[in-house]
């Protein structure tokens, strides 16, 4: 079968893009399925690690604090969710590659080199965000349980607690990808560094709102511990964009001389 011809810049037509996205989605699904199998096998130690902050709070306060499986199908439902959670983490290099392998054919030859740089930065950034959430999690749980009266027990709904923990970790991992997107869009000439700098107030506000949403406690330090790295990464990405814009400007001046 003959392939649909591309334009002079090497871009794919719309029909090939639709075929490409289907192929990438299928590959992502296969990667998640394989990761979920690993998560299913490692369910017991992973669940123990996720529940460990509750056990630490229980020992700290000398109270009964633990999970409550409050439904007939709750245990099996949580088993699936925890397996898929681990799958998203361990298969992150694979699905991030598929996302940008899909974008790659739609770029010009000069733009495609940025995809590989993005992938090299995106995976450690995603894992760093997840690791930061994991580090902050015990403090969040401790603050939440500090309001439990002495002598009382706190049996937390397993669905609610584990959904909160997994959402916190994945949300922080995805949030750490934003600076990488910023740099890539700048390298592609879509957004200038001045545009990113002009929106710094919104970036700081969104960072703190995001931190407040994923750490629903009255502990300011926990919220700041998540928001501060996001703000720092935003300004670091903006600085890299300025560095690239200045280099590009010098090249344009040299080309006209």
pLDDT (average), residues 26-43: 93
Task: Render 107-151 in DSSP notation, one character per residue.
Answer: S-HHHHHHHHHHHHHHHHHHHHHHHHHHHHHHHHHHHHHTTSPTT
**CA-based nearest residue to 86, from 142, 35, 156, 15:** 35
Task: Render 86-112 in DSSP notation, one character per residue.
Answer: HHHHHTHHHHHHHHHHHHGGGS-HHHH
Pair 187, 147: CB distance under 8 Å: no
**pTM greater than 0.85 (yes/no):** no
The 10s digit of each residue's pLDDT in 206-245 is 988 888 887 665 567 767 877 888 899 999 999 989 988 8
The 10s digit of each residue's pLDDT in 2-28 is 344 445 444 555 677 677 788 888 999
The 10s digit of each residue's pLDDT in 138-151 is 887 877 777 666 66
């Amino acid at each position: 079968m003959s392939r649909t011809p591309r334009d002079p810049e090497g871009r794919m037509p719309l029909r090939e893009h639709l075929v490409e996205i289907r192929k990438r989605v299928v590959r992502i699904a296969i990667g998640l399925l394989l990761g979920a199998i690993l998560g299913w096998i490692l369910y017991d130690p992973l669940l123990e690690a996720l529940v460990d902050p509750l056990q630490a709070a229980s020992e700290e306060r000398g109270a009964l604090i633990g999970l409550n499986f409050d439904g007939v199908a709750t245990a099996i439902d949580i088993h699936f969710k925890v397996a898929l959670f681990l799958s998203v983490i361990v298969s992150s290099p694979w699905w991030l590659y598929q996302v940008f392998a899909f974008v790659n054919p739609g770029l010009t030859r000069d733009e495609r080199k940025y995809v590989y740089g993005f992938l090299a930065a995106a995976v450690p950034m995603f894992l760093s965000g997840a690791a930061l959430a994991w580090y902050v999690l015990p403090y969040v749980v401790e603050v939440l349980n500090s309001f439990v009266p002495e002598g009382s027990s706190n049996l937390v709904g397993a669905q609610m607690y584990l959904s909160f923990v997994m959402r916190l970790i994945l949300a922080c991992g995805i949030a750490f990808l934003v600076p990488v997107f910023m740099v890539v869009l700048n390298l592609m000439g879509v957004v200038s560094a001045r545009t990113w700098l002009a929106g710094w107030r919104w970036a700081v506000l969104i960072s703190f709102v995001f931190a407040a949403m994923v750490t629903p406690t009255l502990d300011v330090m926990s919220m700041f511990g998540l928001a501060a790295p996001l703000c720092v990464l935003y300004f670091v990405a903006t600085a890299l964009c300025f560095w690239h814009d200045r280099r590009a400007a010098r090249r344009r001046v040299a080309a006209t001389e």
